Amino acid sequence: MTEKTGKYPTEPLKCWDKAKKIREDYYKDYASAHEKGGLRWAGGAWTFDAIPAGLGDDVHPITSEPYGASCAFNKEFSLKCLEATEKAGYARDLCAYMRNYWGSILLNQFAFGGPFPKPDFLWQDHICCSHAKWYQVVSELEHGIPHFSIDVSVGPEDEIDQNKIDYIVGQMHDGIEFLEKSTGRKYDDNLLIKAVKNTCRSTSTWAKVCELNKTVPAPLDEKSMYSLYVLGTLQKSSQAVADFYEELLKEVQDRVKRGISATPNERCRVMSDTQPPWGFLSVFRYLEKFGTVSIGSLYTFGLIGAWEVAPDGEWVHRKTPMEKGVSINDRDKALRVLTEWELHKPEWQHFYSPHLKSEMMIRIAKQWKLNGVMLHYNRGCEGLSLGIAENRLALLKAGYPVMVFEGNMGDEREFDMVRTMSRIDSFMETLGMKKDFD
């Protein structure tokens, strides 16, 4: 129902419940896969999930980062997981998602109820040092689950050449042999091709949705976007996710047309950075008291979104190979398309240099018309926090006020809510924003 309590009308998203159901079904399907004769696999949200799709429609994944975030959202459960990991001898400064995930295995408790459903195989890629070790430990904890990892250290995108693509595609071909051997199933290339097309469709469409947030007032706020982008991190290669993003796009286009705003009194636009402290998303609602909306971030836009720079310099959604008339007819072509597509992922580029991240952030700040930036010094993710102090300097130099706050995406013991809110008060004051209500 449309409401107008402030300057702009607001309205809940109609497809909200559908998004929730896709997420619920995802975890249910994973947990119950064996009951229907299906298979379970585990791997990171960055992994090439389109490839195991070739084993059949009854093969269900669980991706570790969103699972770790789900644990973190439940503070009581998360603490048990973290303590179990520490008791097992793992250091407290490791990736917080990884520690929640390992803790869940060690406790044999699934965040959504019941014992932790053991995967049949592990399918991972190595984007950061944690990813490189994560599933090696999972394999050990679960008594030797077959494990395959793909090394993707060939970036950044402007340095990619044919040899580098061949290097990754070669590993993917080996990976398919591994999948057949580990599961005893025959691989279906048609399912792979379909999943690759879905991947391109999901990620390009999500970028289109994010592009619409250039509109003033923004039709979406970042707290809501977290519940939407997550579907891509769960299974970007699935038909359900690709179709959902197209439905979402239509709805957000309609919101823009009708002037529906995410917040009733948008006067100030900011972006955040890296994963938020998942147990404390009320930080984003607090901003609304100041008429401030967080329109997203490089993280929410670029972890799942596929982007390219248009000739006029605007950052826009990447056109899919299908839209460009590329035909994908066999396994090798599908793997090459998938490789090239994924190696342009924005949130992967800055593993090579913080300056690449600064450029992208400044581009967002300009094109999404921002008044300021809130940087989360996320002690739970070395990969995405690396170089964040450099990003701060670059943003300041570009003329954008920056607030930093310390925290951890998945370990609530490292986040100070009161101090963070107090810092937001100060930042809002420097931006000239006053509270509309308490």
In the complex, least distance from residue 293 CB atom to another protein, rounded to whole angstroms:
21
Q: Residue 108: CB partners within 8 Å, gap ≥ 6?
A: 115, 116
User: Pairing relation of β-strands 307-309 and 315-317?
Assistant: antiparallel
- 3-state class (DSSP) for residue 83: helix
In the complex, least distance from residue 285 CB atom to another protein, rounded to whole angstroms:
18
- By C-beta, is 167 or 377 nearer to another protein? 377
Token couple for 237: 């290669």
- By C-beta, is 127 or 370 nearer to another protein? 370
User: Pairing relation of β-strands 59-63 and 121-126?
Assistant: unpaired
In the complex, least distance from residue 280 CB atom to another protein, rounded to whole angstroms:
14
In the complex, least distance from residue 112 CB atom to another protein, rounded to whole angstroms:
32
274 DSSP 8-state letter: S
In the complex, least distance from residue 382 CB atom to another protein, rounded to whole angstroms:
18
- By C-beta, is 340 or 436 nearer to another protein? 436
Q: Find, among 320, 297, 299, 298, the residue nearest to 202 by Cα.
A: 320
- In 332-398, beta strands by DSSP E: 372-378
CA distances from 242 to 35, 66, 79, 437 (A): 26, 18, 34, 39
Cα–Cα distance for residue pair 136/336, rounded to 1 Å:
26
Report the run of H or E that residue 20 belongs to, with start and end: helix 16-32
Dihedral angle, C-alpha 128, 132, 133, 135, nearest 10 °: 120
Cα–Cα distance for residue pair 72/375, rounded to 1 Å:
20
- By C-beta, is 141 or 431 nearer to another protein? 431
Cα–Cα distance for residue pair 38/56, rounded to 1 Å:
9
Q: Find, among 411, 384, 412, 415, the residue nearest to 99 by Cα.
A: 411
- By C-beta, is 173 or 435 nearer to another protein? 435
In the complex, least distance from residue 406 CB atom to another protein, rounded to whole angstroms:
5
- By C-beta, is 9 or 387 nearer to another protein? 387
In the complex, least distance from residue 286 CB atom to another protein, rounded to whole angstroms:
13
In the complex, least distance from residue 289 CB atom to another protein, rounded to whole angstroms:
13
Cα–Cα distance for residue pair 133/138, rounded to 1 Å:
9
- By C-beta, is 175 or 372 nearer to another protein? 372
Q: Residue 304 corresponds to which amino acid? A: I
Q: Find, among 47, 51, 52, 49, the residue nearest to 152 by Cα.
A: 47
- 3-state class (DSSP) for residue 9: coil
In the complex, least distance from residue 342 CB atom to another protein, rounded to whole angstroms:
36
185 DSSP 8-state letter: P
The site for another protein (CB under 8 A) is made up of 396, 401-402, 404, 406, 416, 419, 422-423, 425-426, 429-430
Cα–Cα distance for residue pair 261/54, rounded to 1 Å:
41
- By C-beta, is 37 or 399 nearer to another protein? 399
In the complex, least distance from residue 68 CB atom to another protein, rounded to whole angstroms:
23
Token couple for 265: 């009194």
- By C-beta, is 327 or 430 nearer to another protein? 430
- By C-beta, is 281 or 417 nearer to another protein? 417
